[in-house]
Amino acid sequence: MRFLTAGESHGRALAVVIEGFPALVPVGKEEIDRELSRRQQGYGRGGRMKIEKDRVEIISGLRHGKTMGSPIAFLIPNRDWQNWAAVMDPFLPGEETRVELKEEERLGRIRAEVTAPRPGHADLAGALKYGFTDLRNVLERASARETAARVGAGAFARILLAQFGVVIGSHLLQIGAAASGENQIRALSEEEQEKVEESPVRCLDPQAAAAMMEEIDKARAEGESLGGIFLVYAKGLPPGLGSHVHWDRRLDGRLAQAVMSIPGVKGVEFGLGFAAAALPGSKVHDPIAYEAGRGLYRPVNNAGGIEGGMSNGEPLLIRAVMKPIPTLYQGLPSVDLKTWEPVRAAVERSDLTAVPAAAVVAEAMVAWVLAEAFLEKFGGDSLPEMKRAWAAYLEEIPWQPPKS
């Protein structure tokens, strides 16, 4: 199973093709739209979120609310396209349009060509790699707008996983210097996750959430941006997803790559993560216990649900750090690629922080990798086939899915 995305930040739409998704999985449009909406929320988001109201347009792969086993294709239209239609036209605009563009640039409403790369972005490396002088050819695709397509694809994956009782969620631990007192590395209950969804910064701790919002307000006043830390969890995973036999089949490696691929993410930890370096082995490794009716389990989950590249039956726990967004309204020192003169970097419309949104994107990427692992383990061209293999496997091993 795989997915491909296409589209630019200010292009006509984002496009997604999913291949290898099993047949007969019930899918509701509202389930996908809900995930797209979650990605757009969060205190500190920029003006783009006031323009876009992301909704999915299914093109193929579904019939009467169920998948058919054929490729799934869908679009997420960009409402902002109408303001950039001439700038992003696939072909050269006519003379009249070029005159209009020059006037729009003179008034500061639009920047058709960008020649001052932004530190921290893909601008400069992409321009050198592909031989561009107009950085718009890089920044339009490198933009985090592309993550809306990932969330759409991830929505299909989490719909599939829900058929097996797998629950995925996330919450914020830190924005800037404001950290949550609820800094335990654990999965949340359904009620706790509902509280997170009600928080403007997706933080379970109300006091920390208020402090995070103050940090964002301060950054706004100073023309700064902020990063942070979020946690993604998955509950209900059976032991044995992934494999120890090859480096590229290890589940933690695949999950780390998926989360690290999100723009701005600079580090990933499982369970205790880096904190394990300061502790003796007796304080790090999870004891193994057995209970009738429950089977094998771990009293603690320092491993974060993965051992030897495989899920071990405990909740998956992943933390990730996101750097501050590199588009600053004050503009960082740069060089104009046409004149080689020192200038302030170009400023495109941007967020002050996108950590709450990044956590939702990470949920989608985690869901996708886990759905892949489910298909590898239980196979099948359709959902009923997968369920039969899954049920048979659970009958064979001394482990029971959690009750909630």
pLDDT digits (tens, 9 = 90+) for 12-36: 999 999 999 999 999 999 999 999 9
| In-domain check, residue 282 | yes
CA 186 to chain CA mean position, Å: 19
CA 132 to chain CA mean position, Å: 28
| In-domain check, residue 179 | yes
CA distance 264 to 118: 14
Asked if 58 and 74 count as a contact pair (C-beta separation under 8 A), the reply is yes
| In-domain check, residue 404 | no
Q: What is the mean pLDDT of each run of 10 residues along the chain (404 residues)?
A: 96 96 97 95 68 88 98 94 85 68 64 88 96 93 95 98 97 95 83 95 94 94 93 97 97 98 97 95 96 91 97 97 87 92 82 93 98 96 97 94 71
- Model confidence, pTM: 0.93
- Count of CB atoms situated within 10 Å of the CB of 100: 14
| In-domain check, residue 140 | yes
CA distances from 38 to 31, 76, 197, 358 (A): 11, 15, 8, 10
| In-domain check, residue 215 | yes
CA distance 206 to 178: 12
CA distance 320 to 359: 9
Instruction: Tell me the CATH number at 267.
Output: 3.60.150.10
| In-domain check, residue 402 | no
Q: How many domains does the chain have?
A: 1
Tokens of 319: 């933390």
Question: Position of tokens 């239980």?
Answer: 378
Asked if 304 and 316 count as a contact pair (C-beta separation under 8 A), the reply is yes
| In-domain check, residue 68 | yes
CA distance 180 to 351: 22
161 phi/psi in degrees, rounded to 5: -65, -35
**Alpha carbon distance, N-terminus to C-terminus of the chain:** 28
Residues in the chain: 404
Q: What is the pLDDT of residues 247-304, one digit of tens each?
A: 999 999 999 999 999 999 999 999 999 999 999 999 999 999 999 988 999 999 999 9
CA distance 277 to 229: 19
Torsion of CA 107, 109, 110, 111, to 10 degrees: 50
Q: What is the pLDDT of residue 254?
A: 98
CA distance 49 to 351: 9
| In-domain check, residue 54 | yes
**Greatest CA span in the chain, whole angstroms?**
78
Q: What is the pLDDT of residue 64?
A: 97
Asked if 168 and 234 count as a contact pair (C-beta separation under 8 A), the reply is yes
Asked if 141 and 14 count as a contact pair (C-beta separation under 8 A), the reply is no
Residue numbers of the domain that contains 203: 2-396
Q: What is the pLDDT of residue 105?
A: 66
Q: What is the pLDDT of residue 63?
A: 97
